[in-house]
Chains A and B, each alone.
Chain A
Amino acid sequence: MNNLVMNKLASRRNILRGSAYGAAITVGVPFLDCFLNSNGTALAATGAALPVCFGTWYQGLGFNPGRWIPSTVGPGYKNNVELQVFDPFRDRMNIISGTKYFLDGRPLETHTTGWQIASQGAIPTGVSTGASLDSQIADVIGTRTRFRSIEVAIGGGRQSFSKRAGSATNPSEPSPAALYTRIFGPEFKDPNAAEFTPDAMTMARDSVLSAVKEERRDLMKLVGAADKARLEEYFSSVRQLENQLALEMQKPDPLPACTVPGTVAATKDGPDVPDAEKNAKIFGRLMAHALACGQTRVVNVTLGSNGLHSVGSQQTWHSLTHEEPVDDKMGYQPEVTWFINWANARFVEFLRELDGVKEGSGTVLDRMAILWQTDHSYARTHTMDALPIMIAGRAGGRLKTGMHVSLPGDPATRVGLTMQQAFGVPIKTWGGLSNETSKTVTEILA
Chain B
Amino acid sequence: MLAPPLLWLGLAYLGSLAVLLLSAFWTTDSFTSDVIHVWNTDNFRTILTDSVYRTITLRTLGVAVAVTLIDALLALPMAFFMARVASGRWRRALLVAVLTPLWAGYLVKAYAWRVMLGEHGLVNAVLAPLGLTGPGYGLPAVVLVLAYLWLPYMVLPVFAALERLPTHHLEASADLGAGAWRTLRLIVLPAVRPALFAGSVFTFSLSLGDYLTVQIVGGRTQLLGNVIASQVTLDLPLAAALSAVPVVLIVCYLAAVRRAGALDSL
Q: Bound pair: A and B?
A: no
